[in-house]
Amino acid sequence: MRADVFRANLEITRRGLALFSFGNASGIVRELGLVVIKPSGFSYDRLTPTDLVVTDIDGQLVEGTLRPSTDLPTHLALYQAFPGIGGVVHTHSRFATVWAQAGLTIPCLGTTHADYFRGPIPVTDPLEPAEIQSNYEWNTGQAIVRRMADLDPTEVPAVLVAGHAPFCWAASAGEAVELAAVLEEVARIAYHTIVVNPQVEPLPAALRDKHFLRKHGAGAYYGQKR
């Protein structure tokens, strides 16, 4: 588990999803109520598995000598609201961040998007000044949870925080970082698609669901038997 979170953090930098020490990955062991996360402002170059910080579900330090990522409260808010998830990844990947800064939902324009996300990638509402002043990172998590209220987090496992950057989640940190990489590609292709054709329509629902469901759920037939 610590190994999975460690590898997921390295994947953030290996796949170019963040500069310097930006971004972070975490995982949760539900039975023990323990969360493992990257230390704050820590360069990926010198990160080792033992540098990872372990806290309980309320963020109290359980193991480690370094400060946890400042974004820990956002991760905790997601773990508390979405009981089915096991890993969270936050990046500053370029085009996902562009859409987040633009305050725009990423429409589902192609099958690459639909293979992983069953609908548009939503963007949160801006925080109120009071929500920024105190408990900012926790309130960021609450803004995500509010935005996802009518959505199934296993069908749309990513969100854009307005003016900031994306968060992704999955069964594990390793799967969440794969989603983060796909999200960046999807964000990039969607960007260029609407530049070259501003009138483009979203993918028809039948095609979107076909692609999502051939990879997910009971009727999936993509990939190898597990």
221 among known catalytic residues: no
Name which position in 90, 174, 190, 212 contacts a copy of itself (CB under 8 A): 190
| Residue 115 annotated as catalytic | yes
Interface with a copy of itself (CB under 8 A), residue from 19, 29, 61, 62: 19
Q: Can you give the three-state secondary structure of 100-143, one letter per residue?
A: HHHCCCECCCCHHHHCCCCCCECECCCCCHHHHHCCHHHHHHHH
Least distance to a copy of itself, CB of residue 215, Å: 8
Binding mask 88-127 for a copy of itself (x = CB under 8 A): ----x-xx-xxxxxxxx----xxxx-------------xx
Q: Measure the CA–CA gap between 90 and 155, rounded to whole angstroms.
A: 18
Q: With contacts defined by CB under 8 A, how many residues of the chain interact with a copy of itself?
A: 62
Longest distance between any two alpha carbons in the chain, whole Å: 53
Smallest gap from Cβ 52 to a copy of itself, in A, equals: 14
| Buried b / exposed e along 94-124 (16+ C-beta atoms within 10 A) | bbbbbbbeeebebbbbbeebbbbbbbbbbbb
**Pick from 86, 207, 88: which is nearest to 158 by CA?**
88
Residues that bind a copy of itself (CB under 8 A): 19-22, 39-42, 66-67, 70, 92, 94-95, 97-104, 109-112, 126-127, 129, 132-133, 136, 163-165, 178, 181-182, 185, 188-197, 200, 203-204, 206-207, 210, 214-215, 221-225
Catalytically active residues, by annotation: 115, 222
